[in-house]
Structure 1
Amino acid sequence: MTGNVNNSRLWENADLWSAPVGTALPAALTDAMSTVPAWKAVGLLSEDGASESRDEDSNDFYAWGGKLIRTKRSKHKRSIKVTCLEDNLAVFGLVNPGSVATTADGVNTRTIKAPKSDKRSFVLELMDGDITRRRHIPTGEVTEVGEVTLSEGDLQAFELTITIYPSTDDVLYVDYDNDTANAAA
Structure 2
Amino acid sequence: MAGDVNNPRLWEGADFYTAPVGTALPVLLTDGMSTVPAWKAVGLLSEDGASESRDEDSTDFYAWGGKLIRTQRSRHKRTISVTCLEDNLTVFGLTNPGSTVSTAAGVNTRTVKIPKSDKSSFVLELVDGDIVRRRHIPQGEVTEVGEVSLSESDLQAFELTITIYPDSNDVLYVDYDNDPQGASA
- TM-score, normalised to structure 1's length? 0.99
2:6 corresponds to 1:6: yes
User: Which residue of structure 2 aligns with residue 121 of structure 1?
Assistant: 121
2:116 partner SS: coil
* 1:115-158 deviation per Cα after TM superposition (whole angstroms, max 9, x unaligned): 00000000000000000000000000000000000000000000
Give me the whole-angstrom Cα distance separating, in 1, the residues matched to 2:27 and 2:102: 33
- Give 5+ residue unaligned stretches, structure 1: none
Residue equivalent to 1:110: 110
Q: CA deviation at 1:34?
A: 0.7
1:170 aligned partner: 170
Give the 3-state SS of the residue equivalent to 1:92 in structure 2: helix
| Shift in Å, 1:42 | 0.2
Number of corresponding residues: 185
- CA apart distance, 1:21: 0.2
TM-score by structure 2 length? 0.99
Give the Cα–Cα distance (whole angstroms) in 1 for the partners of residues 107 and 6 of structure 2. 52
Work out the CA distance in 1 between the residues paired with 2:98 and 2:5.
Answer: 47
AA aligned to 1:90 is: T
Deviation by residue 1:41-96 (Cα, 9 ceiling, x = unmatched): 00000000000000000000001111000000000000001100000000000000
Q: What CA distance in whole angstroms lies between the structure 2 residues aligned with 1:99 and 1:184? A: 46
Does the alignment pair 1:58 with 2:61? no
Aligned residue number for residue 84 of structure 2: 84
Report the alpha carbon displacement of residue 29 of structure 1 after superposing the two structures with TM: 1.0
